[in-house]
Amino acid sequence: MEGRLELGTTPSGKKPALVITGASGFLGRHLIAALRDRYEIFGIARRSQGAVGMPLHRNLTWYQVDIAEREPLAAVFRSLRQVPGPRVIVHLAAHYDFTGEKDPEYERTNVHGLRNVLDLSRSLTPELFVFPSSLAACAFPREGEALDEESPADGDHHYAVSKRIGEEMLREYAGDFRPVIVRLAAMFSDWCEYPPLYAFLGTWTSQGWNRRVLGGRGRSAIPYLHVRCAVNFFQRVLEMRSEIRPLEVLVASPDGCVSHQEAFEAATLAYYGHRVKPIFMPGLISRLGLVTMDLAGRLQGNRPFERPWMGRYIDLRMNTDATRTRHRLAWEAMPRLDVIRRMPFLVENLKNDPIEWHRRNLAALKTVHLQPNLKLLYLFEAHERRILEASVSQVLDPQGESLYPTYRRLLGEDELRWAKRQLFLQLKNTIRTRDLSIFKAYCRHLAERRHRQGFSSEEVCRIIAGERDLCIRILRSDPGAADLAQAIHDHITMTFLVGLDEIQDAFDVLGGRMLPLEV
């Protein structure tokens, strides 16, 4: 059509700039993947682009910064001011958890971090500032009623309060740019990636005593939104950015809600191939059970995902009516991506690739109920570059002449750096899977290669031990390692111990000092 712009272009032909905070999160990663060919995207995240597996792209610029740290964030916004063309900001960065406890991150990230982003956004004069809130910011509606665009953000749990403060804060900036509030349903993917549903599926498909137990009458219900529908929703908001009214509230959700009983029946049918009858536990007994299980978990040092605060919501239904938004945007959640329709696909992924299933979902849990080895893995990835540079320096610095003479003589800096990256890759794989055989096999092959090159076992072991000591020292220097002493011992110290023993064994066999032993 004459005069019509191609989607994602400006009159000058340039792609509009899209700034996404929380770019490393669940929705952020999917948005970038879907929109990077249509927009010039500037991602802001605590984690690095490499750490979250986000591939390089000509239209993606990544800033690793914490939005709660004002000065580093201000430097990013000064850089963004140089970007020509219209700008839209989608503020996805937020803290949430399911502990029910008052985590200081709610104030630090959801309130102070948002304030920083809003203040600094004034200098960019964006066309639109999209603030994703949540239907969970609202109290459950009364029986027979539904949440809609007019519903107040009156939830009383910590996450809801932080989102209400955020929605109210936007009003202060409506004269500088157009803020829009998006209240999202519970997002999931075909790999689940929604912590409560992940916990439910783990219980319902287990052999545990409680695998058929549903709290109350099984009527507890919330709306679910597939992440692909969420991406389509945001794409539609961006397309209509010039038509969105300041402080408009949009609801990204299908109508209605899905109960625990409906999800249980769909999941168990897909998993077992036949219908499983649930056992309904009266609300009072369920609440007492949550308290008892949590107390037992505290005593054992491993609290369950289900917490006592969840008992308040037994048999409550978060019925939703998104009619106005659906007509406003000409958008709707696709029926085939309904959570009940997708349940066979979730179960198929759970059955056929359990490692990837748990990896994705444990990452979605963040620090809540996160296994120590994965917490250690994320900590290691955050410091990997520092460890790598220190490891290379200890060979190339003058004092390395006497400690690593063969490495300095036979390996150039590029080859040395590559070798150390390979070692850290195998270390990370071992930490992730808790499978020592990965690092053990790597060290066996390393020893065989170094023996052929003329290295001594002492020098090879010395450099591996040095890398172990660097890892431990740098990781322990991070305040985030305060509760990871045991994990560092189990997955760093012991992994290197096994690796060093394998190197010594290989050199002994290759040097004829020991016969090979195969069992």
Here the CATH number for the domain that contains residue 438 is: 1.10.490
| Residue 398 and residue 299 share a domain | no
14: in domain: no
What DSSP letter does each residue of 33-97 carry, written as one string? HHHTTTSEEEEEESS-TTTTT----TTEEEEE--TT-HHHHHHHHHHHTT--S-EEEEE------
Range of the domain at 432: 372-510
Helix 372-396 to helix 457-476 angle (10° resolution) is: 120
Q: Is residue 18 part of a domain?
A: no
Please say whether the beta carbons of 128 and 89 come within 8 A: yes
User: Going by DSSP bridges, is the β-strand pair 60-64/40-45 parallel, antiparallel, or unpaired?
Assistant: parallel
Whether residue 355 sits in one domain with residue 306: yes
Do 429 and 331 share a structural domain?
A: no
Within a domain: residue 69? no
pLDDT for the residue 8? 40
Structure tokens at 69: 């740290």
- Residue 369 has a pLDDT of 45
Residues 354 and 404 in one domain: no
158 and 271 co-located in one domain: yes
Alpha-carbon torsion 111, 116, 117, 118, what sign? positive
Which one of 331, 364, 397 terminates a domain?
A: 364
Domain match, 359 and 377 both: no
**Residue in 129, 127, 147 with CA at minimum distance from that of residue 139:** 147
pLDDT digits (tens, 9 = 90+) for 206-220: 988 899 999 999 999
Higher pLDDT among residues 39 and 5, named by residue: 39
Q: What is the pLDDT of residue 6?
A: 32
Q: Tell me: the pLDDT tens digits for 257-274?
A: 999 999 999 999 999 999
Does residue 374 carry a pLDDT above 80? no
- pLDDT tens, position by position, 269-313: 999 999 999 999 998 999 998 888 888 887 777 778 888 888 899
Domain boundary among 364, 395, 410: 364
Based on the structure, what is the number of domains in the chain? 2
Q: No. of H helices and E strands in the chain?
A: 20, 13
Any domain includes 515: no
Do 308 and 379 reside in the same domain of the chain?
no
Over residues 479-501, the mean pLDDT reads 92
Nearby residues of 474 by Cβ (< 8 Å), 6 or more positions away: 383, 386, 387, 390
Q: Are residues 251 and 400 in the same domain?
A: no
| pLDDT at residue 189 tops 90 | yes
Q: Which of 364, 385, 404 is the last residue of a domain?
A: 364
C-alpha distances in angstroms, 414 versus 417, 418, 461, 462? 5, 6, 21, 20
Same domain, residue pair 253 and 397: no
Tell whether the model's pLDDT for residue 187 goes beyond 90: yes
pTM, rounded to two decimals: 0.70
- What value does the mean pLDDT take over residues 245-263? 97
Using the structure block, give the residue that is written with the tokens 């948005």: 31
Whether residue 133 is contained in a domain is answered as yes
Please tell me whether residues 262 and 284 are part of one structural domain.
Answer: yes
Intra-chain end-to-end CA distance of the chain, in Å:
74
- Are 321 and 177 found together in one domain? yes
279 located within any domain: yes
Residues 234 and 355 in one domain: yes
| Residue 47 in domain | no
Phi, psi (deg, nearest 5) at residue 434: 60, 30
How many alpha carbons fall within 13 Å on the CB side of residue 410?
Answer: 13
- Can you give the pLDDT at residue 9? 39
Residues 6+ apart with CB under 8 A from 250: 149, 180, 181, 182, 183, 237, 325, 328, 329
pLDDT of residue 371: 66
Query: Residue 302 falls within a domain, yes or no?
Result: yes
Quick: pLDDT tens for 444-478. 999 999 999 999 999 999 999 999 999 999 999 98
At 127 the three-state DSSP class reads: coil
pLDDT at position 479 over 50? yes
C-alpha–C-alpha distance, residues 477 and 286, integer Å:
43
Q: What's the pLDDT score for residue 168? A: 95
Query: What CATH number does the domain containing 269 carry?
Result: 3.40.50.720
Alpha-carbon span 219 to 319, nearest angstrom: 11
